Structures are given as structure tokens and as C-alpha cells.
Structure 1
């Protein structure tokens, strides 16, 4: 499954101009000071789409978001399109798209922000992969030992080697 962006030579334009929903699913998510309604629609009518190998389903996600901040309500809408080789229902595809953000938030965001991966200046081919493995290993150790907050776990591990020894002894 892939998100359509403006770099697919006319595919985004063709999909957005001709999308006719065949099935729709709704989700309402609440939390973090916002309410978001997502409408996920799918279409398997590919007659007006340029040749795209393996394409079976077009997906449109329309989001309406209400964000509550300091007695101000901000309202925004967004429409995104996806393509996939899957032929699942709109509800199943909505879960897949939502699940992707779980991975993004639990792994990529933590590696980028908490562990500073984006700021890392290592560029040597073998070292980049080695550090990625080390970062993932650390996250897995933290989670395996019940930490919910990875920044807190990293701070505690950084305070003293005895905490790390305790973690490794428990393994």
C-alpha cells in the first residue's frame, strides 16, 4: 500500500478527479485534545487510471479534525489517496492505514526524536546499520522490561551502568 503524492506523473490527478467510491467506512477517534472523523472509501474501478502494475484498489481517506486548544477550536480537513494491490474491505484497509501510524509512533518517532537518529552524523555504510540495530535493541530491551516511556527509559539507562547491568542480568 502506498500513499499517492504529486510525484507519480498524473496518477494522483487522475485518481482525485475520477474517484467513485464503491464502499465506505467511518471511524471517530478521540484523544490528545482532538476529535477526528475519518471516512475511508475504496474503489476498484481502474478504467480511467494510467497503467499501474499490480494496482487493484484505490483508497480515499477524508479526515475532519477538531483540535481544542486554550478555549479555541481549530477545524481542518484533509483528503489523502492511496493505492494497493490488496482487495480488502474499506474497514480492513482503514485498520491497515491506522496501524501504520502505530509503527511510526512507536519506532520511527522514538528513534528520530528520543534517540536522535536524524541528528546522527554517522555516514559510513556499515556503521549506519550497526547503530540502527543497536537503537532497536535498546528499544526492545526497554519495552521488554515494562517501560512505556522510551525517553524515561533512556534517561534511566544513561544515569548509571548498574541499571544496564540489571537489565542484562534479567535477560
Structure 2
């Protein structure tokens, strides 16, 4: 979370705005957000159908005056999702996520904040899913020194190079480029 505080301060100094989701890897922020008085806040509801599922979302937004030990935080958001697969109508999965932003009430409407958070999740899913599934990052044996960070940077660079070239199927592209090492050099514009 220290790195995120530095990042938020950097953005604030330049007049940029931000939304930060409180994920499970930030237990302190998650705990602070969960402890806010959400019961007393009105919710905006939305439902959506797609990808063989139906999803119901409620969004609650709370203006922060105190209570969160995070610099420049002006509002907290609680997003509750309840999903069901269309082929399993009786089975629901639920989840609650939290976020904070420096945007004030007059700067962003609830539907805008919800859209920005959903677009953030689509970016996260696009990058992390490829790293987790295609590159099997979670089972990497690199665990010491700077090795994990270097390997993560190399995987991200590879994904970026392929996407810049207009390639969407990373796994197929990896197989294609693995067959001939000059293909990778040509993709990068080296030869």
C-alpha cells in the first residue's frame, strides 16, 4: 500500500484524478473501507446480462471526511455483485469490492464511477488472466532476489509487444514466435 500512496501523491501533485480498488492484497485499506457505515447509504442498482450470466450490482458511495488513513481520498465506494449463470438459475455467487477516489461528488456521477471501475476490472482481467493462464505465472519457480519482478516485467513486455502488433491470441502468438527466433526480433523491429 505504501507504493500506492506514493503513486496517488504523484498523481495529485500533477492534478490528475484516480480510483483505487481495495483488493485482498491490501488488508489494511480493505478493513477500513469495510468498517464504514454502509448500512446508512442509499444504493444505485444495475443489472446486466452477458457472457452466459446475469449480474446484479449495487453501488454505494460515501463522502469521506475522516476515517480512512489514505491521502487525498474524498469518496469511498462499495460495489456488491451477485451473479448467476444462465444455465444454473438457482446458483448465485456474491462478492463485495471497495474502492476510493479523490473525485468529489460534483466531479463524477455514480454511473460514471461504476463505469470507470468496470473498465478497470476489464483491464485487470485482460492482463492478469493472460499472465496467470498463458504464462502460468502463479506456478513460477523464480522466487529470490529481483527475479520475480524481472520475470513479471518480461511477461508484461511480451504481452504489450504482441498487443501493439495487433495480436489478440497470446498463446498462439507465443507458439508461432517460438518456432523461429527471428520472428520475435522482426516483431520488435530489430531485424
TM over 0.5: yes
Q: Which residue of 1 aligns with 2:123?
A: 103
Would you say 1:43 and 2:62 are equivalent positions?
yes
* Larger displacement relative to structure 2 (79-88 or 142-151): 79-88
**Following TM superposition, by how much is the alpha carbon of 1:94 offset from its aligned partner in structure 2, in angstroms?**
0.8
> Which whole-Å CA distance do the structure 2 matches of 1:111 and 1:12 have between them?
29
In structure 2, the residue matched to 1:34 is 53
Q: Which residue of 2 aligns with 1:56?
A: 74
Q: Say yes or no: does 1:20 pair with 2:38.
A: no
Call closer, same or farther: CA 1:11–1:146 in 2, change over 3 Å. closer
- Give the match for residue 86 of structure 2: 68
Determine helix, strand or coil for the equivalent of 1:15. coil
How far apart, in 1, do the equivalents of 2:78 and 2:94 lie?
Answer: 13
Aligned alpha-carbon RMSD (Å) = 3.1
- Superposed displacement of residue 33, structure 1: 0.8
Q: Give the 3 Å change call, closer, same or farther, for CA 75–133 of structure 1 in structure 2.
A: closer
Tell me the matched-pair count. 165
* 1:119 CA displacement: 1.8
Q: Which has more strand, going by share of residues?
A: 1
- Equivalent-residue separation in structure 1 for 2:50 and 2:112 (angstroms): 22
How do residues 76-155 of structure 1 correspond to structure 2 at under 5 angstroms? 76-87=93-104, 88-155=108-175
SS in structure 1 of the partner of residue 172 of structure 2? helix
Compared with structure 1, are the counterparts of its residues 39 and 153 closer, same or farther at alpha carbon in structure 2 (3 Å cutoff)? same
With over 3 angstroms needed to count, the CA separation of the structure-2 counterparts of 1:58 and 1:165, relative to structure 1, is closer
Q: Is the 1:36–1:63 Cα contact (8 Å) retained in structure 2?
A: yes
TM, length-normalised to structure 1:
0.74
Unaligned runs of 5+ in 1: none
Residues 83 and 130 from structure 1, CA distance in 2 versus in 1: closer, same or farther, beyond 3 angstroms? closer
TM-score, normalization by structure 2:
0.68
- Equivalent residue of 1:146, what SS? coil
- Residue 80 of structure 2 contacts residue 97 of structure 2 at CA under 8 Å; is this kept in 1? yes
